[in-house]
Amino acid sequence: MDGKADLHLHTTFSDGALSPSELLERARQAGLTAISITDHDHTGGLDEAADLAGKNGIVVVPGVELSTIVGEADVHILGYFINHRDSRLQEYLELFRKERRKRAERIVEKLNGMHIPLTLAAVLRRAGAGSVGRPHIATALVEEGLIGTYQEAFSKYIGFGKPAYEKKYLISPREAIALVAAAGGLSFLAHPSTFINEEVLQEIIDAGIDGIEVVHPSHSPELVAHYSAIVSEYFLLASGGSDFHGGKRNDRESFGKYFISTEYVDMMRRRLR
Residue 199 neighbours by CB distance under 10 Å: 10
Q: What local confidence, expressed as pLDDT, does residue 180 receive? A: 98
Q: Do 61 and 107 fall within a single domain?
A: no
* Model confidence pLDDT, tens digit, residues 183-206: 999 999 999 987 778 899 999 999
Q: Do 212 and 80 fall within a single domain?
A: yes
- Please identify, among 158, 191, 209, the residue that sits at the C-terminal boundary of a domain: 158
Number of structural domains found in the chain: 2
Q: What is the CATH number of the domain that holds 264?
A: 3.20.20.140
Q: Does residue 164 belong to any structural domain of this protein?
A: no
What confidence tier does 66 reach under pLDDT thresholds 50, 70, 90?
very high
- Whole-angstrom distance, CA of residue 137 vs CA of residue 142: 9
Question: How many helices and strands (H and E) does the chain possess?
Answer: 10, 8
Strand duo 4-9 + 34-37: pairing: parallel
Helices (H), the chain: 20-29, 46-56, 87-113, 120-127, 134-143, 150-152, 173-182, 198-206, 221-233, 263-272
Q: Do 46 and 8 fall within a single domain?
A: yes
Distance of CA 75 to the CA centre of its chain: 11
Average pLDDT over residues 53-82: 91
- Whole-angstrom distance, CA of residue 169 vs CA of residue 67: 8
Query: Max alpha carbon distance in the chain (Å)?
Result: 56
Q: Do 110 and 151 fall within a single domain?
A: yes
Q: Do 74 and 205 fall within a single domain?
A: yes
Average pLDDT over residues 224-234: 97
Q: Do 59 and 75 fall within a single domain?
A: yes
Distance of CA 59 to the CA centre of its chain: 19
Q: Does residue 166 belong to any structural domain of this protein?
A: no
- Whole-angstrom distance, CA of residue 38 vs CA of residue 230: 23
The mean pLDDT of the chain is 94
Q: Does residue 165 belong to any structural domain of this protein?
A: no
**228 three-state secondary structure:** helix
- Whole-angstrom distance, CA of residue 102 vs CA of residue 114: 19
Q: 244 lies in which domain range?
A: 4-91+172-272
- Whole-angstrom distance, CA of residue 257 vs CA of residue 220: 13
Sheet holding 211-215, edge to edge: 237-240, 211-215, 186-189, 73-80, 59-70, 34-37, 4-9, 260-261
Residue 222 neighbours by CB distance under 10 Å: 8
- Please identify, among 158, 180, 202, the residue that sits at the C-terminal boundary of a domain: 158
* Model confidence pLDDT, tens digit, residues 200-223: 999 999 999 999 999 999 999 999
Tell me the Cα Rg of the chain. Answer: 18
- What is the DSSP track for 171-214? B-HHHHHHHHHHTT-EEEE--TTSS--HHHHHHHHHTT--EEEE
What pTM was estimated for this model as a whole? Answer: 0.90
Residue 163's nearest CA partner among 176, 151, 154, 174 is 154
Q: Do 78 and 213 fall within a single domain?
A: yes
Q: Do 204 and 123 fall within a single domain?
A: no
Q: Do 122 and 254 fall within a single domain?
A: no
- Whole-angstrom distance, CA of residue 159 vs CA of residue 165: 6
Q: Do 80 and 189 fall within a single domain?
A: yes
Q: What is the CATH number of the domain that holds 146?
A: 1.10.150.650
Q: Do 77 and 102 fall within a single domain?
A: no
* Model confidence pLDDT, tens digit, residues 28-49: 999 999 999 999 999 999 999 9
Q: Do 68 and 109 fall within a single domain?
A: no
- Please identify, among 124, 158, 192, the residue that sits at the C-terminal boundary of a domain: 158
